[in-house]
Structure 1
């Protein structure tokens, strides 16, 4: 009989913040690290420790104990402390595609700084589901094994795992395959990541311990190598482990007990893997479970955090990084150090217990500050990049017209049009001239000469403007003290048309007397009825209950009853939604709403709807007692209160000229607890599946869950959008930070997007009240309704959805010569069914790198054109390393074939 090997891997799973505030955890981390270093120094038989796959633990420790850096580096170099590959252990579905990549990049970067060999394991010990493209991402980083605790076998209360061998994989080892075909070895913590914790030294206790643990591990292991994880959440170091291992060797001579590490364990497992391993494909979301413990509703806990995160991620990866890359082309150094700081600060909010909103209130208060810090640094990068670019844009086309030029930048990666607003200074006077109150008094009554907006060819563009009086401002010169001033200003709104991807368009405000014949631009209103709007592509009618009737003029298809609101009771917790047994959600269908037209210009119309609704004030008193008694949420009997409170919802429907979507902005005044609010979009389509934007893919998911599913809800994660199509027509709902949706089983395939969820406790293993998770007060939501022909990929509607959250940048300039034309694109690309992901400078090579991914499950062509500064193309990867050269059609254009579902990174010298 072949001898079994028990691989005991010491670790601690370090939730940086969770059921205690960050600094409580921080103090315990310092104590743990001190003990670890002492143990490594004292006990040469304590072979190694796995630092939870996240390098941020080193930063957090050295913040308090900087004098210990030398010892840390010593043990990392000796491979007694194993670090990487991540910066933090993220929630994979609530952080963007590029945030997952930056996490991997910065984890590798930090590992090199400590001089260590990276732990080449894709470590996902407690992610609440695993992204389908993880194998492809890992393989591109030279990692061919993933360790995970959830997503494949059902995990229940207290992390009890099903032993049903008929499930997706009979073994803890399996092959995990991405949509592109990339494959890694997947290893499930089938007995959780604590099955080797607190190994006894006492012989009698050790016999009982190992007689249970060894068979438990053998049930799932496909090889003779058994994994025992010596640690758990915030588990202190077992300082007598060496002695405990010697005791185990004495008591069980037929088992080879070794103090191991993941690299050694995986190497041994790889040698013995059987040929009959099962292959699991794509997303691992616990689809084949009863659905009660997927933790999916963390996607809607404290939605304000998800919205702040979406804004921050978009600003970093879709605005600041490409803009800084453009500025680099213009000669400005790329601020890698500032980007690393901004990303790290943002990613400190990305651990699963943080971004999931499933911690105590103190944790999430601190997250708001981090979001603001990251955002402010990113805004500084944006402003510095614009300050570098604007003087190099040639605006002499407006010379001699008393023009006030301004430039509109589009960094979304797709050509787009949109309404922008800019504050223009017509006159500026510095404090050095007179006291500011004197300046304001003198400037305020000065009349504003009527004007018009023109483009660089002198064509007039429809605009709206208003006199905005006098404004305070200041300059921060690089060579002198700050320079405060007062300025005479106007506010201008204009629709910027067809701005190229990665480009800009320069416009100018000029007096009507200077514009001449160009000032005759005219366009009809978009308002076609009392509460009806229409442009070239869409007809939208706001009905008496506030719902939207939308006609796609391109196909003639009509969608009725869109954007009805639903309110349901929630007696669950921050992890999981649970509607009270037997209760029925309330809706605004047929509830009379107030409607009014609040904006009507040549390029935009807005209808505002107000619902003066009433909903239950909370759950009844039973819920509080069930929480105190730690009754598991599926077994609760609480109902909704009979007391009602006002719930006011103000909705704004916006239709722009030339737009293929209707944008929706919602403001809710929430006075109620223990409930969930969703917007409903009945598609009316016959379809068995739908698609949702996920990490580097548009994931196809079943509308009806698997037969094992018992949870009445089938909520799921989304990134930018969810879409349903019957093949001929499709409806897509894009969003900003609204990460939870469900396609309802109501014979209408209704898309239900969560706008607000209120809950009063953390949940999990005890009672931790979270009153701030009730999200009382003002809550907002932004989303967009996009009808189209066919599905979201074939129709190209995905570009509309991806562009929706990305803001235009508008900045005033002056008339001057420059190296770049007034209207310009820094690069261009084409690719049907291909999505843009990022554009930035690589830190190690100094080259520009851009990333796309193929949304189709078949090959697609990608063509990229660069300006004259480029001297060559090469294939890169998610770590942005230089790979094989790519032949170009000419000096500035390269054509590539992307494989099915491929994530493709292009390096440009």
Structure 2
């Protein structure tokens, strides 16, 4: 006999074509139904969609029901968690996914309990790293819908493992989270059973009676009786929940074993090009994630070493506000304009909060340092690696000229980028009323200074009149050059000479624009299209070669059609103005910034990099690892014939870097905020900069036939998604002989993480918002420090450094090597350590840190290690 576990639930999109403010009203009244059904035993269980954020939102409006909610949660009638929000897995950082579960479980426990099952019923694809993330929280079971290929596993039940051997028993609700609703309103039992029995290989079956913002089915018990009475199969229907289902399922055996990511549209739409919708959101989210992970949390740990208590509760609230933007619809941008404006507003709020916290900690530390002097500049290295490349600083001085010196009084080389004369007195209506003694200078410079790992170091500004300074000077060269590359720009072609590989790469970077007849879910080529390539223009280029940072700047316009109609007729009647900047700074990276203003409709623009590496596969990073993907996916040519839901386009997500490699060399592209790539037939890496589209969903696309994605019954215009605005795109190119994921991860972190700094001065009170505010220094005077945490010789990669509580902090590291390694970390801040899980629970013996080292043996490939250090 097969046993069908029927569980009552709702799928509650936090926002979509409606805003969170609109859906909360529905939730307020919906929860009345839930409470009534559970208290009167109309339902034995009710599952609140695996995300506790909506319960927090609800109780803001109905706080009187808190004790009732707690009682139902404790009794395991109302099932909540484990997530804070229904996260996207493919374009959200690994640390954000971990925090989503951490704060989801923590918040659920405040209500009394949580459902110990991973549950992502609608995310647009599943990351290969999810099993090890779930295992890190003692979660061994997982439920999902989208992305599993029939070729990989036709069963609904299987064991899914990550590269480190972490494993979850997994159930694929391949008909969708809403299919079980049929037992409420459909008496055609044979058809209903035929569909949900497809792929069933075990005796226990899971059936979700849910749906988008679905009302409570008070008659569920009666309908279960009806199905039991009418079925002609050997089936027993029972009211159940997901935890009880897995307890029963685990008694069975011989599950198939599956590895890898799930990005196939064989059973359901997967939206392979959603990673480039609403680029503006994705860029800002990426920026905030880096600010929290690589700046704010490490700064709090630095502050701990100096006696500044970390505000972990404040940090939680900042993270939670960011996580509200990580639900699959929110993160991917497939929403109405009013919803996307709400997302923008929340992202801006989090950006301001994280920057303000960052600014406060920096100022508090620096203003508390013993023997500090006017014009001392304190620089923070928040990464556990040595930083050796030029540092960009903004210095405020009374005198126009100055020298920089290190703590030993030795002069430090720097180059002037720009200089501005500024008035600091009370503003007047005319400049003639200003006091000439109240002017000062703001000078932007590049400094040649090396920083030790995870350190706070001081340089001194000495103001000296009539001293010659090195200014960034325009040269007559037609190239820029450092120790790694020589980049030419002539005949409308960017050419890179890669010195390490002794290789010349022509047409190294260019822009490509084509029409987009799709929607916010998917790119779709128009039936009649004109693809345009732009190789820049030589007459607009300027070169700066005689400085620490070599710079090439190109200003021009890219002529494209205004809209799809003009594209059909091949009329180039719109100019996209842009500035392309390429920098070399002896880091091994070719640092590229592109700023443009989009003034055209319904098109896709990509930056294409000539990798000059022959390979059938690409390698991209994932939340806690890397993955190899086919440049031409399977079934690209016959997907319609075999009945797949959409084309398995060769368009893929990445977080921070993508690479092509072979036995001789490798090419890597790292980005800040760009999340989508495709490997073109000529082994060029195409980064999707942005997609400009005007509808939430459209039907019958070339790559996605059938009904519209999103809202099936209404065209919802989204003119804001045309992105008619100024945008900046940041990426870096790197050529090497070998592909080393650990090295690339480190290089990415150094490339993407700026160096916080603070100048002790009272001339400029607006270096940041908090500079104007007064504050007391810490009661105990501090000293600068060097090298608190050092990964320079470690075989493990940093994921995060974060405060745990007032007396401890955490390190999360991962083995990105292709084999098992022994890991060693140099720790100069802390007395004891223990291995913990991702809930910060102890799973190892507390040990003393001896000789400033923590040694970890036999770290498996891909394994995540969490360490708690007691200070």
Q: What is the TM-score when the length of structure 1 is the normalising length?
A: 0.85
Name the Cα RMSD after superposition. Answer: 2.8
Question: Which position in structure 2 is the counterpart of 1:562?
Answer: 508
2:824 aligns to what? Answer: 863
State the partner residue of 1:260: 240
Structure 1 residue 347 and structure 2 residue 306: aligned? no
The 8 Å contact of residues 485 and 498 in structure 2, kept in 1 or not, is answered as yes
Superposed CA deviations along residues 622-659 of structure 1, whole A, max 9, x for unmatched, are xxxxxxxxxxxxxxxx9577462112222111222x33
The equivalent of 1:751 in structure 2 is: 685
- Residues 319-339 of structure 1, C-alpha deviation per residue, up to 9 Å, x if partnerless? 000001110111111101111
Judged with a 3 Å threshold, the aligned counterparts in structure 2 of structure 1 residues 293 and 198 are, in CA distance, closer, same or farther, namely closer
* 1:7-60 C-alpha deviation (Å, 9 max, x unpaired): 11111111111012222222112222121112222x314100111110001011
Partner of 2:766: none
Kept after mapping to 1: 8 A contact 2:224/2:237 = yes
Which residue does 1:451 correspond to in 2? Answer: 402
Q: 1:490 aligns with which of 442, 451, 457?
A: 442
| Shift in alpha-carbon separation, 1:80–1:797, aligned structure 2, 3 A | closer
The answer for the alignment partner of 1:674 in structure 2 is 602
Counterpart of 2:455 in structure 1 is: 503
Supply the distance in 1 between the matched residues of 2:584 and 2:830 (Cα, whole angstroms).
40
Q: CA deviation at 1:389?
A: 2.1
When residues 521 and 825 of structure 1 are mapped into structure 2, their CA distance, relative to the original with a 3 A threshold, is farther
- Give the equivalent residue in structure 2 for 1:310: 286
**Would the aligned equivalents of 1:135 and 1:176 in 2 still touch at CA under 8 Å?**
yes
Say if 2:559 and 2:572, in contact at 8 Å, map to a contact too.
no
Q: CA deviation at 1:175?
A: 1.2
Q: 1:646 to 1:509 in 2, by over 3 A?
A: same
Q: CA deviation at 1:127?
A: 0.9
| 1:338 and 1:377 in contact (8 A); partners too | no
Residues 887 and 543 (structure 1), Cα distance of their counterparts in 2 relative to 1, 3 Å cut:
farther
What is the CA-CA distance between 1:418 and the residue it aligns to?
4.1
Q: Superposed, which structure 2 residues align to 1:400-479 within 5 Å?
A: 404-426=375-397, 448=399, 450-463=401-414, 464=416, 466-471=419-424
Q: Secondary structure at the match of 2:752?
A: coil
Equivalent residue, structure 1, for 2:696: 762
Which residue is 2:194 aligned to? 215
Contact 1:193 1:232 in 2 (8 A): yes
Q: Secondary structure at the match of 2:158?
A: strand
1:680-719 per-residue CA deviation (whole Å, 9 max, x = no partner) reads 1122212122211111112222222113555484110011
| 1:53-132 aligned within 5 A | 53-116=50-113, 118-132=114-128
**Which residue of 2 is the match for residue 592 of structure 1?**
537
Structure 2's unaligned 5+ residue stretches are 428-436, 640-646, 698-708, 763-776
Say which of 557, 566, 582 aligns to 1:653: 582
Matched residues in 1 for 2:111 and 2:785: separation?
46
CA contact (8 A) 1:126 1:150 kept: yes
Matches within 5 A, 1:725-874: 725-746=661-682, 749-763=683-697, 764=709, 765-766=712-713, 767-793=715-741, 796-813=743-760, 822=784, 824-831=786-793, 834-843=796-805, 846-867=807-828, 869-874=829-834
Name the residue aligned to 1:433.
none
Q: Specify the SS of the correspondent of 1:305.
A: helix
Change (3 A) 1:246 1:864: same
1:161 maps to what in 2?
A: none
Partner of 1:140: 136
Report the CA distance between 1:835 and its aligned residue: 2.1
Quote the offset at 1:296 in angstroms.
Answer: 2.2
Q: 1:366 to 1:311 in 2, by over 3 A?
A: same
**Offset at 1:181?**
1.4
Aligned mates of 1:874, 1:473 — CA distance in 2: 56
Distance 1:713 1:268, change over 3 A: closer
* CA–CA distance in structure 2, aligned partners of residues 489 and 472 of structure 1: 13
- Is this contact kept in 2: 1:730–1:792, CA < 8 A? no
The offset of 1:489, in angstroms, is 4.2
* SS of equivalent to 2:500: coil
CA contact (8 A) 1:526 1:604 kept: no
Tell me the alpha carbon deviations over residues 370-427 of structure 1, each in whole angstroms, 9 at most, x when there is no partner: 111111211222122213321454566xx7xxx6111121213432234444444446
**Alpha-carbon distance in 1 for matches of 2:214, 2:841:** 37
Counterpart of 2:770 in structure 1 is none
Report the CA distance between 1:814 and its aligned residue.
7.0
CA distance in structure 1 between the aligned counterparts of 2:439 and 2:157, rounded to whole angstroms: 68
Q: Which residue of 2 aligns with 1:435?
A: none
Alpha-carbon shift at residue 490 of structure 1 (Å):
2.8
> Whole-Å Cα distance in 2 between the matches of residues 614 and 878 of structure 1?
51
Whether 1:879 and 2:839 are equivalent positions in the alignment is yes
For structure 1, which segment, 701-710 or 94-103, has the greater mean C-alpha deviation from structure 2 after superposition? 701-710
Deviation at 1:303, TM superposition (A): 0.3
* Mapped contact 2:122–2:144 kept (Cα < 8 A): yes
Find the counterpart in structure 2 of residue 445 from structure 1: none
Helix, strand or coil at the partner of 2:102: helix
Q: Distance in 1 between matches of 2:409 and 2:660?
A: 44
Q: Is the contact between residue 129 and residue 622 of structure 2 (CA under 8 Å) also seen in structure 1?
A: no
In 2, Cα distance between the equivalents of 1:232 and 1:389? 51
- Hey, what's the Cα distance between the residues in 2 that align with 1:486 and 1:108? 55
Deviation of the 1:271 alpha carbon: 1.0
Query: Is 2:301–2:802's contact at 8 Å kept on the other side of the alignment?
Result: yes
Residue number among 311, 333, 339 corresponding to 2:309 in the alignment: 333
Deviates more, 1:811-820 or 1:869-878: 811-820
After TM superposition, give the deviation of residue 862 of structure 1 in Å.
2.2
Secondary structure of the residue that 2:349 maps to in structure 1? helix
| Partner in structure 1 of residue 614 of structure 2 | 686
Report the alpha carbon displacement of residue 467 of structure 1 after superposing the two structures with TM. Answer: 4.7
State the alpha-carbon separation in 1 of the partners of residues 797 and 473 from structure 2: 31
Per-residue CA deviation, residues 725-765 of structure 1 (Å, 9 max, x unaligned), is 2232211111110000111123xx11000112111111112
Q: Which residue of 2 aligns with 1:272?
A: 252
Does the Cα contact within 8 Å between 2:397 and 2:463 map onto a contact in 1?
no
Contact kept? 2:830, 2:849, Cα under 8 Å: no
CA 1:848/1:889 → structure 2, altered by over 3 Å: closer, same or farther? Answer: closer
Please say if residues 830 and 863 of structure 1, whose CA atoms lie closer than 8 Å, have aligned partners that are also in contact.
Answer: no
Structure 2 Cα separation of the partners of residues 887 and 335 of structure 1: 26
Output the TM-score relative to the length of structure 2: 0.89
> Is residue 511 of structure 2 the alignment partner of residue 575 of structure 1?
no
For 1:224, which of 188, 203, 226 is the aligned residue? 203
- Encode CA deviations 1:104-147: one digit per residue, 9 max, x unaligned: 1001100110012x211111111111111111111121111111
Farther off after superposition, 774-783 or 250-259: 250-259
Name the residue aligned to 1:237. 216
For 2:434, the equivalent position in structure 1 comes to none
- Following superposition, the deviation at residue 368 of structure 1 comes to 1.1
- Are the aligned partners of 1:121 and 1:145 in contact in 2 as well (CA < 8 Å)? yes
Shift of 1:526: 9.4
2:158/2:256 contact within 8 Å kept: yes
What displacement does 1:579 show?
Answer: 1.3
Q: What does the per-residue CA deviation read over 1:752-803, in whole Å, with 9 as the maximum and x for residues that have no partner?
A: 0011211111111242111111111212211111122211437x24322222
Relative distance call for 1:832 and 1:331 in structure 2 (3 A) is: closer
SS at match of 2:168: strand
- Cα pair 2:393 2:447 within 8 Å, conserved: no
Q: CA deviation at 1:825?
A: 2.3
Q: 1:550 to 1:861 in 2, by over 3 A?
A: farther
The residue matched to 2:450 in structure 1 has which SS? Answer: strand
Q: Which runs of 5+ in 1 are unaligned?
A: 154-163, 428-447, 475-484, 622-637
Shift of 1:592: 3.2
Q: Please give the alpha-carbon distance, in whole angstroms, between the structure 1 residues aligned to 2:820 and 2:425.
A: 55
User: Residue 365 of structure 2 corresponds to which residue in structure 1?
Assistant: 389
Paired position in structure 2 for 1:38: 36
